[in-house]
């Protein structure tokens, strides 16, 4: 695992996520985007693709569901594992994102140490080999 991509419009959530990732894997590269449209544009023009995408659902311009639908249509991008990273804990969101091809669903925890633990679990090789997991 060399590079992750976080798509989230909340700057505070981005900073907390990046701080957690850097505390676990200090050499891991990361990129961010504030909505699905910016993310798709970045991915299409990037010379190197991320190993995994963390995707918020509620964003302006292009939300997480719209992004998930679009990325699965792009041959060059469709194999990148995409996981949901959102405040939602709704069963409907979990079921719909799984149906659309998300690999995992992580409800954003309020505690930094819990966030670190869950990110460490997700980024482990064992987890990424599983078909789908709800990390709540």
pTM comes to: 0.90
Tens digit of each residue's pLDDT (9 = 90 or more) over 63-78:
999 999 999 998 889 9
Residue 11 tokens, joined:
């700057």
Return the CATH number at 93.
Answer: 3.40.50.2300
Residue 37 tokens, joined:
């449209």
Number of domains in the chain: 1
Q: How far is CA 60 from the centre of its chain?
A: 16
**Averaging pLDDT over each range in 36-40, 85-89, 129-133, which range is the top one?**
36-40
Tens digit of each residue's pLDDT (9 = 90 or more) over 3-58:
999 999 999 999 999 999 999 998 999 999 999 999 999 999 998 999 999 999 99
Domain extent, residue 11, equals: 3-135
The DSSP symbol for 27 reads T
What's the whole-number average pLDDT of the chain?
Answer: 89
Instruction: State the Cα torsion 67-81-128-103 to the nearest 10°.
Output: 30
Tens digit of each residue's pLDDT (9 = 90 or more) over 30-41:
999 999 999 999
Average pLDDT (77-105) is: 91
What are the start-end ranges of the H helices in 11-110? 11-24, 36-45, 64-73, 91-99
């Amino acid at each position: 695992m060399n590079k992750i991509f976080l798509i989230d419009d909340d700057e505070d959530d981005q900073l907390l996520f990046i701080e957690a990732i850097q505390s676990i894997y200090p050499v891991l590269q990361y990129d961010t985007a504030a909505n699905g449209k910016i993310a798709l544009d970045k991915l299409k023009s990037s010379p190197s693709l991320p190993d995994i995408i963390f995707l918020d659902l509620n964003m302006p311009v292009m939300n997480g569901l719209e992004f998930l639908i679009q990325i699965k249509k792009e041959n060059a991008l469709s194999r990148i594992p995409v996981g949901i990273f959102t405040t939602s804990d709704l069963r409907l969101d979990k079921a719909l994102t799984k149906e659309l091809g998300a690999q995992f669903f992580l409800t954003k925890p309020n505690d930094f140490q819990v966030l670190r633990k869950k990110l460490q679990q997700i980024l482990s090789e064992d987890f990424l080999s599983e078909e789908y997991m709800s990390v709540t």
